């Protein structure tokens, strides 16, 4: 099982990522360096957490479902998270919701998300050999969650709506740093658990029957991997809001650059590429062009183009 040389893309992506991070921290900084670095460092850490969780959740999701087009966010996972959040505001009221505090909100939302996602996957994975059905079901779910979420938004009190609205758009320039440390810890745990499974993920990528033939308890492993995906999606959505096509952009780049099927290489490479793109475009737009709001638009636009290209090429696998 010796693949092509794999160290090179990892090293290159590592250098690019380090460069992007360096520029992000230092470019255009004036005044007290200690303050600037502390302030920017926190923001950088948040971006890195988001980049990692988007990259890993997308790659793992695609491996388990055996496709390269569908991602957790195209399937409306982040929309599901927002739906849960809106439903909480709806039931508890804006005041009750705020009284929970951000961390408890995050904990409750993630727990609910885990349950909902597992139920969804169980239904989805039963026939995951049927790719057309899988993609279609995924997209229908995505639309359903978004519509339900906006319906609930209309039903709740306008003053409470403000609480929810703030969370409903991707915002890379104003990441939620209150949740940063708990999010970073959660992501680290998920990453560690998935990294330990990287060889098993390689086998799962061969398909259900082949994986069972090689002694991997496919259904149990798929459920566990998907639970971790759900937690990672919760993390990134809580920090920056929903991003639909970014994961797809990252996975397409990582698969093209890695030239290997080994998750031990694919996953770290995807995280590095994801961080480079996110931090790099943030640096360019915020520091160089001073266009703070456009990052999400550009990243999503690029990802959308990749989505179109994949669909037109029919490169579902």
Partner 1 sequence: MIETQSLCVSLGGAQVVHDIDLTVERGRLTALVGPNGAGKSTLLAALGRLVPPAAGAIRVDGTEIGRIPSPDLARRLAILRQNAVIAPRLSVADLVGFGRYPHSGGRLTAQDHDIVRDCLADLDLTDLAGRYLDTVSGGQRQRALIAMTLAQTPDALLLDEPLNNLDLSHVRRVMAVARARAETGAAVAVVLHDLTVAARHADHIVALKSGRVFASGPPEEVVTPEILSALYDTPLEVHDIAGKRVVLTV
Contact pattern from residue 63 through residue 82 relative to partner 1, giving x for each residue in contact according to CB under 8 A and a dash for the rest: ---x----------------
Exposed/middle/buried for 57, CB within 10 Å: 0-12, 13-18, 19+?
Answer: buried
Measured distance CA(56)–CA(58) in Å, rounded: 5
If the CB atoms of residues 116 and 316 are measured against partner 1, the closer one turns out to be: 316
Contact between 261 and partner 1 by CB under 8 A: the answer reads: yes
Among 180, 206, 227, 310, binds partner 1 (CB under 8 A): 206
CB of 130 to partner 1, least distance (A): 12
Contact between 192 and partner 1 by CB under 8 A: the answer reads: no
Looking at the chain, the number of H-run helices and the number of E-run strands are 13, 0
For 260-299, letters b (16+ CB in 10 Å) and e give bebbebbbbbbbbbbbbbbbbbbbbbbeeeeeeebbbeeb
Contact between 215 and partner 1 by CB under 8 A: the answer reads: yes
Subset of 126-185 contacting partner 1 (CB under 8 A): 129
CB of 110 to partner 1, least distance (A): 30
φ and ψ at 27, to 5 degrees? Answer: -60, 130
Among 15, 174, 185, 212, binds partner 1 (CB under 8 A): 212
Residue keyed to tokens 């996957």: 121
Task: Give the Cβ contact number of residue 6 at 10 Å.
Answer: 17
Q: Which stretch binds partner 1 (CB under 8 A): 202-210, 243-251, 269-277, 303-311?
A: 202-210
Measured distance CA(26)–CA(23) in Å, rounded: 5
Contact between 256 and partner 1 by CB under 8 A: the answer reads: no
Contact between 310 and partner 1 by CB under 8 A: the answer reads: no
Is 6 in contact with 262 (CB distance < 8 Å)? yes
Contact between 6 and partner 1 by CB under 8 A: the answer reads: no
Residues that bind partner 1 (CB under 8 A): 1-3, 66, 129, 198-199, 202-203, 205-207, 209-210, 212-217, 261, 264, 317
């Amino acid at each position: 099982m010796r693949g092509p040389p794999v160290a090179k893309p990892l090293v290159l992506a590592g250098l690019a990522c380090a460069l992007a991070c360096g520029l992000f921290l230092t470019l255009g900084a004036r005044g007290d360096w200690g303050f600037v670095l502390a302030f920017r460092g926190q923001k950088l850490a948040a971006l890195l957490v988001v980049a990692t969780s988007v990259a890993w959740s997308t790659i793992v999701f695609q491996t388990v479902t055996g496709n390269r087009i569908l991602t957790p966010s195209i399937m409306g996972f982040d929309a599901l998270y927002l739906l849960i959040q809106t439903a909480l505001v709806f039931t508890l009221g804006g005041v009750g919701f705020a009284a929970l505090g951000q961390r408890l909100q995050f904990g409750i939302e993630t727990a609910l998300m885990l349950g909902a996602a597992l139920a969804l996957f169980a239904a989805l994975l039963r026939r995951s050999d049927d790719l057309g059905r899988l993609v279609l079901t995924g997209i229908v779910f995505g639309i359903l969650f978004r519509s339900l979420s906006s319906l609930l938004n209309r039903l709740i009190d306008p003053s409470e709506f403000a609480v929810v609205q703030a969370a409903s758009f991707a915002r890379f320039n104003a990441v939620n740093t209150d949740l940063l440390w708990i999010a970073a810890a959660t992501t680290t745990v998920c990453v560690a658990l998935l990294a330990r499974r990287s060889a098993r993920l390689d086998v799962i990528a061969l398909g259900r029957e082949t994986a069972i033939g090689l002694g991997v308890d496919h259904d149990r492993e798929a459920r566990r991997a998907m639970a971790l995906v759900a937690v990672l999606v919760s993390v990134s959505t809580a920090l920056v809001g929903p991003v639909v096509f970014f994961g797809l952009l990252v996975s397409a780049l990582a698969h093209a650059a890695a030239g290997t099927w080994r998750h031990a290489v694919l996953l770290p490479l995807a995280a590095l590429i994801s961080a480079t793109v996110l931090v790099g475009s943030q640096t360019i737009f915020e520091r160089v062009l001073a266009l703070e709001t456009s990052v999400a638009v550009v990243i999503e636009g690029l990802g959308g183009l990749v989505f179109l290209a994949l669909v037109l090429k029919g490169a579902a696998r």
